[in-house]
């Protein structure tokens, strides 16, 4: 019997044929399975290497001077999860990172320093810590700095997802887009209003800078006046104001406040997520599929990844604010998003 099968496998292998019954269980497991591992990058460990990168190469030569946060299980793949890319980018005073555009969508979350800027289709967005900035797919974008200090931000992109579709490509520009005054997009779409004759269909948000002070103030008010969620604390998602949906089709982003003394309950979700710590301190407990729980202690500017379907819970004694992003909009569009809250 076994030899009949072995002979069958051996004889058909040259025709590139494989028996499904040998792999079926791995293809459709009883719960979501990921090769990704939880990981934490302490800012104090990482920052010296960014500064060394600043001495080793200019922003212009690098095009984008970024250290990629690679999932320990996906080394060499420029991936923090199977679908997401994350990196920390440094721009020094006076530097320019030239304009380009690509099919990948990108988000920025500002970690350190003020006074650098991103331009999106020619409109400048000046960066301040905690600001959330997007560059929708195929929009021209570049960076520059009029700061007197290094400016560092988190880049989140859908690079691995577009690689899966073999749909990632870019165009570089010699001429930059004609400059447009800063703040016009926000004036049009950022205050719960929109131009009367606006006809946009809204794949990506027309607002591309979400200043931290506004988002933070919302969380502060919610903390004062509303009940705390036992899993999330106080958690808001960034929206495309034209649709109410995610800021970009492939990337969802969130800001949450864990109040002082928070001891959260455990949850798991199909969308693996990358977190950037803005304020405070705490711990994230992540349980691997084999049942082992690891506590990762985080402080300001640390980054960590919770892989798909790993049970996670948050604790914070002094309180904390966390930014995060994931590919949740894609899961939702495909009706495959699942969440369990224990």
At closest approach, how far in Å is the CB of 153 from ligand 1HN? 8
The token pair at 261 is 């003394």
Q: Which residue has the tokens 């000046």?
A: 126
Closer Cβ to ligand 1HN, 156 or 282, answer by number: 156
Distances (CA, A) of 189 to 213, 239, 253, 271: 17, 11, 18, 28
Are 163 and 81 in contact, with CB atoms under 8 Å apart? no
What is the per-residue binding string for ligand 1HN in 32-71, x denoting contact by CB under 6 A? --------------------------------x-x-----
Among 65, 141, 303, 328, binds ligand 1HN (CB under 6 A): 141
Number of Cβ atoms within 10 Å of the Cβ of 269: 20
Is residue 155 near ligand 1HN by the rule CB under 6 A? yes
At closest approach, how far in Å is the CB of 164 from ligand 1HN? 15
Closer Cβ to ligand 1HN, 66 or 321, answer by number: 66
Closer Cβ to ligand 1HN, 102 or 189, answer by number: 102
- Cβ neighbors of 257 (< 8 A, separation 6 or more) are 219, 220, 222, 223, 233, 234, 235, 319, 320, 321
At closest approach, how far in Å is the CB of 278 from ligand 1HN? 20
Among 111, 147, 157, 251, binds ligand 1HN (CB under 6 A): 157
Burial (Cβ within 10 Å: 0-12, 13-18, ≥19) of residue 40: middle
The region of 51-59, 154-162, 193-201, 237-245 touching ligand 1HN under the rule CB under 6 A is 154-162
At closest approach, how far in Å is the CB of 118 from ligand 1HN? 8
Are 116 and 145 in contact, with CB atoms under 8 Å apart? yes
Site for ligand 1HN, residues 159 to 188, rule: CB under 6 A: 159
The region of 7-15, 151-159, 281-289, 296-304 touching ligand 1HN under the rule CB under 6 A is 151-159
At closest approach, how far in Å is the CB of 79 from ligand 1HN? 11
Q: How far apart are CA 293 and CA 286, in angstroms?
A: 5
DSSP 50-107: HHHHHHH--HHHHSS-EEE---GGGTTTT-SSSS-EEEEEEE-TT-EEEEEEESS-EE
The region of 22-30, 100-108, 189-197, 311-319 touching ligand 1HN under the rule CB under 6 A is 100-108
By rule CB under 6 A, what count of residues binds ligand 1HN? 11
How many Å separate Cα 50 from the centre of its chain? Answer: 19
- Cβ neighbors of 214 (< 8 A, separation 6 or more) are none
CA-based nearest residue to 279, from 264, 254, 306, 259: 259
Closer Cβ to ligand 1HN, 122 or 289, answer by number: 122
CA-based nearest residue to 299, from 3, 30, 23, 42: 42
Is residue 154 near ligand 1HN by the rule CB under 6 A? no
The region of 155-163, 205-213, 318-326, 327-335 touching ligand 1HN under the rule CB under 6 A is 155-163
Closer Cβ to ligand 1HN, 101 or 268, answer by number: 101
Is residue 106 near ligand 1HN by the rule CB under 6 A? yes
At closest approach, how far in Å is the CB of 89 from ligand 1HN? 6
Q: Which residues bind ligand 1HN (CB under 6 A)?
A: 64, 66, 87, 89, 102, 104, 106, 141, 155, 157, 159
């Amino acid at each position: 019997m076994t030899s009949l099968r072995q002979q069958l496998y051996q004889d058909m292998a040259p025709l590139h044929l494989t028996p499904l019954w040998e792999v079926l269980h791995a293809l459709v497991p009883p719960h979501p399975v990921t090769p990704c591992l939880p990981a934490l990058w302490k800012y104090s460990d990482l920052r010296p290497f960014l500064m060394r990168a600043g001495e080793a190469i200019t922003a212009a030569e690098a095009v984008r001077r970024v250290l990629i946060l690679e999932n320990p299980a996906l080394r060499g793949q420029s991936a923090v999860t199977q679908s997401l890319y994350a990196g920390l980018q440094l721009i020094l005073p006076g530097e320019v990172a030239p304009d380009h555009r690509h099919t990948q969508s990108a988000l920025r979350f500002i970690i350190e320093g003020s006074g650098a800027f991103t331009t999106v289709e020619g409109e400048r967005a000046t960066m301040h810590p905690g600001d959330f900035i997007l560059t929708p797919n195929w929009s021209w974008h570049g960076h520059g700095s009029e700061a007197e200090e290094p400016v560092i931000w988190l880049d989140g992109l859908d690079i691995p997802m577009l690689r899966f579709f073999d749909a990632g490509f870019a165009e570089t520009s010699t001429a930059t887009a004609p400059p447009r005054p800063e703040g016009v997009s926000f004036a049009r779409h950022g205050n719960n209003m929109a131009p009367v004759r606006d006809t946009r269909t809204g794949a990506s948000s027309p607002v591309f800078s979400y200043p931290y002070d506004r988002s933070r103030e919302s969380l502060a008010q919610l903390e004062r006046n509303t009940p705390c969620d036992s899993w999330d604390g106080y958690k808001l998602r960034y929206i495309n104001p034209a649709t109410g949906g995610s800021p970009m089709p492939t990337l969802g982003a969130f800001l949450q406040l864990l109040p002082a003394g928070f001891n959260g309950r455990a949850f798991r979700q199909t969308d693996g997520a990358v977190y950037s710590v803005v304020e405070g301190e705490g711990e994230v407990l992540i349980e691997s599929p084999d049942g082992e729980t690891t506590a990762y202690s985080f402080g300001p500017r640390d980054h960590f990844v919770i892989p798909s379907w790993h049970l996670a819970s948050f604790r914070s004694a002094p309180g904390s604010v966390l930014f995060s992003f994931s590919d949740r909009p894609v899961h939702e569009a495909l009706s495959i998003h699942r969440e369990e809250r224990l």
